Structure 1
Amino acid sequence: MLSRTLKYAYYPGCVAQGACGELHQSTVALCRVLGIELFELKKAACCGSGTFKEDSQLLEDTVNARNIALAEELNLPLLTHCSTCQGVIGNVDERLKEYQKTQPEYLGRVNNFLEKEGCLPYRGKTQVKHLLYALVTDFGVEEIVQRVTRKLTGLKCAAFYGCYLLRAQKSMTNDDPFHPEAMENVFRAVGSTPIYYRGRTQCCGWPLSSYAAKESFQMAGKHIQEALEAGADCLVTPCPLCHLNLDSRQPEVEKVIGEKLGLPVLHFPQLVALAVGVSPKELGLSRHVVDTKPVLEKLGIKD
């Protein structure tokens, strides 16, 4: 058992409190069971999902410096469960830490804006960490094994990392950005079987969906088809935006590619929480567009 209690400044983001409310629900449930303390940053703002910098890099940096400063005020790492939030906020944190040495005048402009809003300055004194890597590096894969009360034996899980989690930051010490294994290691820890396929580290197509829906859905459809052909029972993603394109829009994807898919898509904390005994109802599995009952039936779990 862990000799200490893990504590994080929890940044839920927007999508997990709206269209993918089950992600927030399952993250809170999982951390409660594992004994991880979350201190929600209720004053945090949307990270911008990469769009702020299209108008102004200073805008993206200032908004997210404020988000990070809120975690620094608690003297805790900032925890995300969204690959896009991780990519954006992590990239800002990485850049501003570098600017502390190379461009202090730029960081001064950022902190001047924060001061005008009555916010504490960005100090570069904490980390931005996705839930996946918090579990793998801080909590530990072996500790997860010890906490499993419901082995997910026989379930074939295909990870869908997407792109932001892996390659939005210059440095990634937790995993290989092109050949990651973190999710697959967790799959093994909870008793499920990892499925490998080509699209697992590629873009889901969500960024295209607002102006090139057909191309976006073709991308998503290709990934789902490849996972099905590899034998997957479900996709598992650490990003709610990927989840929207792969699950919520799967019926539209089917129309575009002219093929029935029906592949359930789980949020990463939902899968782990199932293995440590949390009920499907508490995880919001009924909220998904693609029915998750086949996953539960394969595991012999009643919803």
Structure 2
Amino acid sequence: MSWFQRLRQGLSRTSSRLSQGITDLFVKRRLDQDALDDLEDLLITADLGVKTAGRLTQSLARTRFGKDVSADEVRAALAEEAAAILEPVARPLVIDPACKPHVILVVGVNGAGKTTTIGKMAHHFRRDGLSVSMAAGDTFRAAAVEQLKIWGDRTGCAVVSRDTGADAAGLAFDAYTEARKRGDDVLLVDTAGRLHNKAALMDELSKIRRVLQKIDPAAPHTTLLVLDATVGQNAHQQVKVFGEMIEVTGLVMTKLDGTAKGGVVVALAEEFGLPVHYVGVGETAEDLRPFKAQDFARSLMGVE
């Protein structure tokens, strides 16, 4: 199965709702104001958000208002406009070979899929011939540490871990020091995601950043926020909250296969303009791939 087919399958819960809704709305129907209002409501239900839904419908109205339109025409036009919104944020994560290692700090709430995402990224980096190590910085969750060790065994990557409850910043410092000695290309640092205790989490993330910068003032070289697509519009709040805590440089959107809220990716692109580096549509390492605007927009709208 190609990645485009996988992505289409993964986004099917969102696209089938949108596609069927558009079909129901545009059976031999003229694109008048009522039709536009109905279409806007439909887009909002797929978590595209009010602003983005308005932009998409207005774009359609500019070229087709007052004309008879088919459901296929509407889907194709919406996919084109969604791709235009997504294109500026669809940027691959580029590893800087001068860093040795390029430090990627991975943040996000518990349950978003941080640890699994780190494992999958390690798999892809290793396949590209890079040497990778991982730091199990979510020290309060023994399950997260164990999970990272399993990914380490699977991918042949060193994993630095400590006892439950150990100081995460100290662990990150040690992992960075060891990775530099080995000359690793990439260091992936897992973190806690206890958002219910915002002040403590903010302190912890700030401290991790500070100790990394003792080794290299430019570290971490990338700070990725992992978002669970099933939370829909709540993802906006998570981007804001983590953006206040630490300088987020890019996003990873996981669990798109488990939701009809895939439109939130377009809404986030429009509101924040942060690079979306990867999207995840399943359990395996191959189900996490670099984000491509055209493929995503076409899959979202059910366009072949």
TM over 0.5: no
- Indicate the TM-score class for this superposition, using the shorter chain for normalisation: under 0.3
TM-score normalised by the chain length of structure 2? 0.27
TM-score normalised by the chain length of structure 1? 0.27
Larger radius of gyration, structure 1 or 2? 2
More RCO (CA 8 Å, sep 6+): 2
